[in-house]
Each structure stands twice: as structure tokens, then as C-alpha cells.
Amino acid sequence: MSAKDAQRTRIATAPGFIAALDQSGGSTPKALQQYGVEPSDYSGDAEMYAAVHAMRSRIILSDPFTSEKVLGAILFERTMDSDINGKPTAQILWEERGVVPFLKIDKGLADEANGVQLLKPMPDLDALLAKANEKGIFGTKERSLILEANAQGIADVVAQQFEVAKQVAAAGLVPIVEPEVHIDSATKAEAEGMLEAEIIKHLNDLPDGVDVILKLTIPTKAGLYDAAADHPRVLRVVALSGGYSTNKACDLLSQNHKMIASFSRALAEGLSVKMSDAEFDAALGRNIDQIFAASVA
């Protein structure tokens, strides 16, 4: 079995969750602050990205971060391009940790229109996908944002997401389609109903051989995405934490039996640069255990 086939089987069938280690420029200072690294502790982008790479490396190399409970990890492009212990990050993940590597490919969000924020243009996407293949990446992720139940906006978000997904699949990678619904939206449940209908419509139009992973906000109505999870073109449905605390995200996720976690902030909750390795491993281990339990509930 090839590495890609082994990775596909693992993502589609194994118990566990996908770690999101893909904070980019805008969210990096916040992620570092949560970890106890203040803006005064670094000067300029290079030092900031070095600090966040050190944090991610510490997570990846931590004893609890193994294939037993972590299926995959989503990386920022700089992380993919960086080494851990002298080896490319994606190589360390798969060969030493048994964790399937993914890459965040979007360039951020466009300005709000029709109650949503579409993806910014990605003119260099083909080159990035080629580099991802060379680096041993299995799949990709791109995030758009739905702020309200606007039928036109939601249709536009899903159409754009699936257009990108086809481009990713054509490059031999598996796309994670992420049309996030804001957890504080006043029309969250209504927006999710519209989103589910649009997703099913686009899934039905996918040709055989083009499979996707869906990354979605945990729905207000438990089980809303079960039909999508059972669709033959869907490898897995994963949930984003969306700003919920670890406890809240895990409680909501456990009510959705066909979703697993793909948490970022919730995974790193309570971790600190000041912790000893033993303290860090224990805290991360508790988070991983809690997120795993909610993913297999």
C-alpha cells in the first residue's frame, strides 16, 4: 500500500481527530499570547514566526501527540517549509508520529458581502499545490466565513469552496472544504440549514474519484451533517472549535456522532511556554484525551 493510500484509509476510518496547527499571520500573535509569549517578547515577523514554530514543534514532538489519537495535522505554509530536528515537518509528522499532514492554502478572507466572506484570490495555487506534493502533504484546507443566513452568500461560499476543491483534487491532493458559520451569528441555525442543502447539492455533482473532507462549525441542530458524512464523496466530516472553550466544543461535538474534531485554539488551551516538558506533556495529553473522547462519542 502506498503512503497516500495508507493516509486515505487512516483519515476515512480510524478513530481520532485532526489537529489544526495552521494559525497564519493574523491569528499568530493571539495564538502566541495564549501560549504565554507576549508581543514584547519578539521583534518583527521573523521572530514571531520562529516563536510559533517552536510552539508547534513542541506540540508535535510531545509524547501524547501520536497516531493513537491524532489522525492528522493541518500546517501553515511556513510550517511546511520549516524543519523539526533537521527533518521537514510533514516528514516528521508521518514517518515519526504516524500523523497525516495537511496544508492550509487560503490567503485569508475577502471583505464581507451578502453576509459572508469569500476566499481571497489564490493566483499562485497551482505552484503551492505542486510544492505541497513535493513535501509529502496529503491534503489541503481553505476557510471561508458565513456571518448570517443569506441564501445568495451561502451559495457563493459553497460554489467557490468546491471550485477550489476540484483544483486541489486535480493536483492529487484531498481538499478540506471549510465554510465556517460564525458561532455568534444571530441566524446560525438557519444559516446551517441553508449550508447543508448547498453542500449536498455540490457533493452530488462531484465526479467519481474526487473525494473531500468537510470542516464545519458544530451545528446548532445535532446530527445536521449526518447525511453529508454518509455521502460517497466524503471521506470525513470534521468540526472546528470556532472560539468555543475546549469543554464547550467537546460537549457539543459529542452530540454529533458522525463528526470528529479538528480543533486549533481548543487543542492548545492551557499550554504555556513557561511549563516544564513534563507539565506541558501532561496538559496537552489532557486536551488530546478530552478531544479524542468527544470525537469517538
At 136-175, the pLDDT tens digits run 999 999 999 999 999 999 999 999 999 999 999 999 999 9
The identity of residue 134, as a single letter, is E
Backbone angles phi, psi at 117, to 5 degrees: -125, 110
| 102, containing H or E segment | strand 100-104
Residue 33 above 80 pLDDT? yes
Residues 111-121, mean pLDDT to the nearest whole number: 98
pLDDT band at 222 (very low <50, low <70, confident <90, very high): very high
Scored b (16 or more CB within 10 A) or e, 141-150 reads bbbbbbbbbb
pLDDT tens, position by position, 203-212: 999 999 999 9
Phi–psi pair at 206, nearest 5 degrees: -70, 135
The model's pTM is 0.96
What cell numbers appear for 62 in the block? 510531545
**Cβ pair 259, 277 in contact under 8 A:** no
CA distance 12 to 69: 14
Which residues are catalytically annotated? 178, 215
Instruction: Supply the mean pLDDT for the chain.
Output: 96
